[in-house]
Structure 1
Amino acid sequence: MQDTGPRGPTLDTPVIENIRLQLWDTAGQERFRSLIPSYIRDSAAAVVVYDITNVNSFQQTTKWIDDVRTERGSDVIIMLVGNKTDLADKRQVSIEEGERKAKELNVMFIETSAKAGYNVKQLFRRVAASLPGMDTTQDKNREDMIDIKLEKPPEPPVSEGGCSC
């Protein structure tokens, strides 16, 4: 049971934040390019996904990230995602290439497999944790914590008479 009396939550009470994510998927298709500004306009984050088995899809990510930045400036979190790690035997884009591009473009990076479910939860957790206000919530929770140091009190000396009462 959670103690939320006048002292507030106990130290072991986890803080849970609800985040609502609305996902819009253009599947990288050029015919949806004109819709991008309306998708991005009020977005706090963008996830740009490429297929690790298709070097062309990887090359197109720069253009998609530029589109996001054109609409939102630097006021957006961008995650570059290499998908289809379940098809590693057909890989055309290395992890290092993905990491390098993410670093060059100053975006976050992760590889996933939507089919196998690999790293999908981690992807959304990282995006959600990066949203504005999430870091201040964590800092606020740290401010609410109290350091408690338990030290064993020194034992009183035992007198030679055998009784210490």
Structure 2
Amino acid sequence: MSEVRVRGRVETGLKFHGETRALRVKMVLLGSSGVGKSSLALRFSKDEFKASAPTVGCAYLTQVVCLHDATLRFEIWDTAGQEKYHSVTPLYYRGAHAALVVYDITKRESFIRAQLWLKELEKQYIPGETEVVLVGNKMDLPDDREVSLQEGRSLAERGGLLFMETSAKSGEQMNELLLTIAHRVKQKTREDEKLAEWREAECVNLNQGDTPHPLSFCCSAGL
């Protein structure tokens, strides 16, 4: 086992034949145009926020996260939300370890569309292999809310999904979300599968511990 420094902390990574490698994690962001998928991806990858034009086709970013017993290299696929790209989107989310279905809490129509995305995903993923997460973005705009927290939570509970509200703009709940996904994916992935050729690298320090806060998400499937 090797030590990987995480912004002032020391974490334990996986070491194979003298190199630290990472488990490859394909994570795809799905949802209507304008819900903030690109902003979420940028916040995940660079911890930054900036206004962006609608994604054309698909954008790709990465982030490395260190847990106490594994290093995960997230390959983040930000898909276009416009209807004209809908037919090609399955090409990007097939084989994903994690799929985030995103809606804008200030736009009810995006919440309705999120339910259609969830139905579409059910045709593609194998239960138990893909971590599906419902994400209500833009929680920094509470006065404009059109979708209640309970509505989002109830939809996730009916499907046995993880659920969290976030703000890509302020960064609120973003670290908690990524860390939760990392732990869930790690539980489902054997350490000897899909190892990336990834040498020792700087990892993101998501919180002071490596166990998600029990109230940071809901899941009816059981943790």
Aligned to 1:20, what secondary structure does the other structure show? strand
Asked whether the 8 Å contact 1:43–1:76 carries over to 2, the reply is yes
Task: Select 1:86's aligned residue among 128, 131, 140.
Answer: 140
Task: Quote the offset at 1:83 in angstroms.
Answer: 0.4
**Structure richer in strand, relative to its length:** 2
Task: Select 1:21's aligned residue among 74, 78, 86.
Answer: 74
Q: Which runs of 5+ in 1 are unaligned?
A: 3-12, 138-165
Task: Select 2:106's aligned residue among 47, 53, 57.
Answer: 53
Q: Match of 2:204?
A: none
Q: Distance in 1 between matches of 2:95 and 2:101?
A: 16
Q: Within the alignment, does 1:36 sit opposite 2:89 as a pair?
A: yes
Task: Select 1:66's aligned residue among 115, 119, 128.
Answer: 119
Q: What's the CA shift string for 1:107-129, capped at 9, x where partnerless? A: 11000000000011111111111
Q: What's the CA shift string for 1:48-81, capped at 9, x where partnerless? A: 1100000000011111112222111313110100
Structure 1 vs Structure 2: percent identity of aligned residues? Answer: 37
Greater relative contact order (CA < 8 Å, ≥ 6 in sequence): 2
**Structure richer in helix, relative to its length:** 1
Q: Match of 1:107?
A: 161
Q: What is the TM-score of this pair, normalised by structure 1?
A: 0.69
Aligned residues, how many? Answer: 128
Q: Distance in 2 between matches of 1:52 and 1:27?
A: 19
Aligned to 2:169, what secondary structure does the other structure show? coil
Provide the aligned C-alpha RMSD in A. 2.4
Task: Quote the offset at 1:92 in angstroms.
Answer: 0.3
Change in 2 beyond 3 A, CA 1:134/1:76: closer
Task: Quote the offset at 1:35 in angstroms.
Answer: 2.0
Change in 2 beyond 3 A, CA 1:73/1:134: closer
Larger Rg: 1
Task: Quote the offset at 1:134 in angstroms.
Answer: 5.8
- Paired amino acid for 1:45: A
Asked whether the 8 Å contact 2:79–2:92 carries over to 1, the reply is no
Q: Match of 1:163?
A: none
